[in-house]
Structure 1
């Protein structure tokens, strides 16, 4: 095994081959955009495969089968996690991040189910207070994506706010998901706090040999949109349903705002393990920066 190239080396070689092929056939800006999309999809492989599992099981599963659909999804998610780790696509560091997401996500699921915010209508043996245990992997898929995207794009976040303030903000956001059921909702103030605190923060990332940047709040907004689309797959496959929602109803756009805030909790969780991503951008990137991806 020691003679095999690492997952990151294999990814770089594949990226170079794909990048060369794209640049030979497409204008430079379009080739870079396509490579950006491919790398994003590769970073989101765990979440994408989880959504495929939801779609397939919703289509084929029968109520009289011995194994409940939620239990099958749990076994499927565990198998995916093992496969990603054994193949080298995820490291122990990323597994630690996923475990943290699983814990915080399951805790929120249990509370929200008890408050009637949403429900899981199917049966299953592996449920905890009416929450199927596979649901924690949906949050873990966000953690997997964030850890992988930081590594695959060699991301740096700079200038970064005082670290303790980002943890305080993340704690306030996470706490508000619980407390707004009992006291006034402060999410408007939290939205403002994310912009104020991270307004100057750029995400520097690499495509091929080029460095680009994007404002962190913009990246969070775009990510929340794709998570909202994923939520619609979840409810459309009857994996879960929000209070008063029919299977054919689109998820409220307000949930996009919830994901926007939750991404800051997710980011703070990831930085507990990937602290080096908060370091300075390499000198050559600062001396000769590529145009912002937000402006391409």
Structure 2
């Protein structure tokens, strides 16, 4: 006996099938929500990419291209703070990244790792000042995503271990030109230090978690994709791209992963310090 309804009736589907369909629909909705929050967090990088494309395809008057890019980045940074998309605390973090990135650019251009071949009034030792904003935009993304997704850290390593590790990774970008490149040793050490660390985030009221090392790899890979777009539009130029554009070597993913780790460690450490300060203030007024 099949009962009142026929077996072909859609309402007679087994509960497990309907549950599976509902799970797929829910997962897709959550993925879309997650993608939307990520896109909102990338507003500064998106503006930089759009400006690179615009100034490449449509020459602007009065100033060289690099100078227009600096003007656009400055205006965008002002608007981000003015509109409330970034807080003043986040601006301080982003400014720190601008300085760190610019120092790296000055050194790498001097060593011939890449170049900025176009003219510009706002170039310092061959490096246009807008280049620092490309690093700052990574910090902007991290700060925005941290706030929008309500990021929390689980089993974060101690301060005395995190800070020297970040410093060693950053210094290796300089010292490997004169000494042994220890990036793979540093990568192994990162795996060891953060093996038990997780990052949790919230999407649509539901909390998820991800191994911290995996998040480093994913962000580094997507920055490598962004790097290909940036070099295509002439943001900078590698030696093998002097005659014609070519895909950036996949090995650069390791460099970006390490730079992301430095960025993340700085942001996470400052967030932790800020949280501890707020907790102490609240405890003092309690």
**CA separation in 2, counterparts of 1:197 and 1:51?**
34
**Aligned partner of residue 204 in structure 1, secondary structure:** strand
- Structure ID, larger Rg: 2
* Counterpart check, 1:256 vs 2:263: no
Task: State how 1:25-40 maps to structure 2 within 5 Å.
Answer: 27-40=25-38
Aligned to 2:64: 68
For structure 2, the 5+ residue unaligned runs are: 1-21, 277-286
2:86 to 84, 90, 110: 90
**CA separation in 2, counterparts of 1:157 and 1:53?**
34
Q: 1:269, CA displacement in angstroms?
A: 1.8
**CA separation in 1, counterparts of 2:235 and 2:200?**
36
**CA separation in 2, counterparts of 1:45 and 1:121?**
27
Task: State how 1:94-113 maps to structure 2 within 5 Å.
Answer: 94-113=90-109
**CA separation in 2, counterparts of 1:216 and 1:271?**
12
Aligned to 1:226: 222
**Aligned partner of residue 121 in structure 2, secondary structure:** coil
Aligned to 1:42: 40
**Aligned partner of residue 244 in structure 1, secondary structure:** helix
**Aligned partner of residue 200 in structure 1, secondary structure:** coil
Q: Count the aligned residue pairs.
A: 253
For structure 1, the 5+ residue unaligned runs are: 1-23, 280-296
Q: Report 1 or 2 for greater relative contact order, CA contacts < 8 Å, sequence distance ≥ 6.
A: 1
Aligned to 2:236: 240
TM-score (structure 1 length as normaliser)? 0.82
**Aligned partner of residue 90 in structure 1, secondary structure:** coil
User: 1:129-174: CA deviations, max 9, x gaps?
Assistant: 1100000000000010111111111111111111221111111100
Q: 1:191, CA displacement in angstroms?
A: 1.0
**Aligned partner of residue 182 in structure 1, secondary structure:** coil
1:51 to 39, 49, 52: 49
**Aligned partner of residue 157 in structure 1, secondary structure:** strand
* Counterpart check, 1:130 vs 2:134: no
TM-score (structure 2 length as normaliser)? 0.85
Q: 1:268, CA displacement in angstroms?
A: 2.0
Contact kept, 8 Å, 2:240 with 2:246, in 1: the verdict is no
Contact kept, 8 Å, 1:224 with 1:256, in 2: the verdict is yes
What is the RMSD of the two structures over their aligned residues, measured on CA atoms?
1.6
* Counterpart check, 1:270 vs 2:259: no
Q: 1:277, CA displacement in angstroms?
A: 8.5
